[in-house]
Structure 1
C-alpha cells in the first residue's frame, strides 16, 4: 500500500482538517498516511507555527486510526537542534521530517517564499547553502522534505530554475543525506506541472548519483483534495531514477508497494 508521508491537520496553524477527516479520506483512496504538522519558529510570529506536542501524542483520534502514523515537520535551524533532538529521543514519532522555510542568521530572518531583491542564482545559492547547513547539523531526521519549496512562490522570476548553477551545493546536500541515511521526500504538490516534473527528474537523478537510495512520497496536503495527489507520477519518477519508495514506522524505513 502507498503511504502519504506528509500530511497536515488542525495541529498546524495553516490547516483546518481533523485527523478523523484525514483518516477517512485516506481510506477512500486506499492509502495510509503520516500526520506531520508544522513545528517551526519564524522569529516574527513567535510560536505561531508550533503545536502542543504532548496533546498531539496523546490524541486518541490519531491513536485509533489504523491507517495513520504520527510524525512532525521540523523547521531546521541550528539554534533549535537541542529541542528537536529531544523529540527524536522520545521514540514516539513514526517519521521525523526536516524542512527549511527560513534562514535566521546574525539576527536577520530570511523567508524563502520571497526573493528579497536577489537574482535567481543568488537566491538559490542562499537556499541550498542553508539546506547543506541544516542537514549537516543534525543526525535525527528520517526525511528531508520539499527541497523544491521556494519554487512554489517565486513565479515573479519567470524562466527556468537554475539547478545546474547550484549543482555543487545540491550534490553536497545529497551526499550528506546519503551518508546519514536520510531519505529524500518526493514532494508531489507540483507534479501536475511539466516544469516541475523535469526539475524532479534532475533532483532525483542527482540524489541517486550522490549515493541516495530511498524516497518517501509526500503531498504536503492541507486539504482533503490534496491528499495523495499525483502519486502515479511519483511512482514513475522514482522508478526512472532507480530509487526505492519507502515509508517510516517507529523510525524504521519499509518499502512501499503499489
Structure 2
C-alpha cells in the first residue's frame, strides 16, 4: 500500500508528530508514505497560521527518510496552496528544496477560503461552482510547478448545495485537458469517506470516468490524514474503485517523476 497525502504538525491543521505518522504507516503495512504538509502563503483567514518553516520541515523530512530507509520509503512532499498572487512564492519553495512529490491544491478561490460561508454567500449553487472552477483553471494556466492536482472537487465538502455535474462539466473538462497536456495528474483523496460523503467521492465517479476518457493516466491515492490514526485509511478501497473504472495503474513519484505501478 502507498499513501500519497499525509499531514503532520508542520501543517496548521494537524498536531501529529512526523514520527507518529510514519510509525502508523509502518503498523498498517504501508510500503511508502508521502508527507505533504501545507504551504499556503497569503491565506485569507488570519486566525489560521498557515506559515511553515520550510528549512525545518525539509530537514525533518530528510532525517526521517534516512532513519526509516530500511523500514518504509518516505516520499518528501509538500502540498502547495494555489492562488494567483502567490505563484512566485510557490516557485521559490519548489526550486529551493529537493521534493519528490508536489501536490497543487485549492483551499482558497478568488481570495476567499472555501471553508465557511464567505465564498458561497449571495450566489446560487451553479454560479458558485462556475466561480470555483474558473478560478482553478485560471491559476493552473499561470502556474504549473506541481505534479498532481489534489482533491479536485474539494468544494463539494463545504458547499451548501452541490449542483448537477452537467452544469459545470465543461469547466472540469478544461481543467483536465490542461493537466493532461502538462503531464500532470489528479488525486483520488479518500478523506471523503471519513467525512461521511458516502459515494460522493473526491473526485466523483463522473470526474474519474471523464479523466480516463480524456486520456488521463496519472492518479495518486492519498488519505489526506491529519491524525496518525487516519494514515492509510480506505486506500485499499480506492485501489478497487480505480480498477472498476478501468484504470490500470496508480502513480507514485520519485524525484518529481511519475512511476506507474499496476493496480
Contact 1:112 1:127 in 2 (8 A): no
Cα 1:26–1:152 change in 2 (3 A) is same
Residue 105 of structure 2, aligned match among 96, 99, 102: 99
Matching residue of 1:9:
8
Matching residue of 2:35:
35
Structure 2, unpaired ranges of 5+: none
Q: Deviations over 1:217-251 (max 9, x none)?
A: 01110012221111122112222333321111211
State the 1:193 CA deviation: 4.0
Report SS of the residue matched to 2:200.
Answer: helix
Cα 1:47–1:87 change in 2 (3 A) is farther
Cα 1:61–1:232 change in 2 (3 A) is closer
Contact 1:36 1:73 in 2 (8 A): yes
Taking the aligned partners of 1:231 and 1:163, their CA distance within structure 2 comes to 25
* Residue 202, structure 1, aligned to residue 201, structure 2: no
Report SS of the residue matched to 2:146.
Answer: coil
State the 1:198 CA deviation: 9.4
Taking the aligned partners of 1:73 and 1:198, their CA distance within structure 2 comes to 16
Structure 1, unpaired ranges of 5+: none
Cα 1:223–1:161 change in 2 (3 A) is farther
Aligned-residue Cα RMSD (Å) equals 2.1
Taking the aligned partners of 1:175 and 1:91, their CA distance within structure 2 comes to 29
* Residue 122, structure 1, aligned to residue 127, structure 2: yes
TM-score for both structures, normalised by structure 1: 0.89
State the 1:91 CA deviation: 5.3
Matching residue of 1:216:
220
Cα 1:193–1:13 change in 2 (3 A) is closer
Matching residue of 1:65:
68
Matching residue of 1:169:
171
Taking the aligned partners of 1:251 and 1:131, their CA distance within structure 2 comes to 22
Contact 1:19 1:62 in 2 (8 A): no
How many residue pairs get matched? 250
Matching residue of 1:153:
158
Q: Deviations over 1:99-142 (max 9, x none)?
A: 111124xxxx3222232232111111111111111222122100
Residue 134 of structure 1, aligned match among 139, 143, 150: 139
Report SS of the residue matched to 1:7.
Answer: coil
Matching residue of 1:112:
114
Contact 1:215 1:238 in 2 (8 A): no
Report SS of the residue matched to 1:139.
Answer: coil
Cα 1:9–1:82 change in 2 (3 A) is same
Report SS of the residue matched to 2:155.
Answer: helix
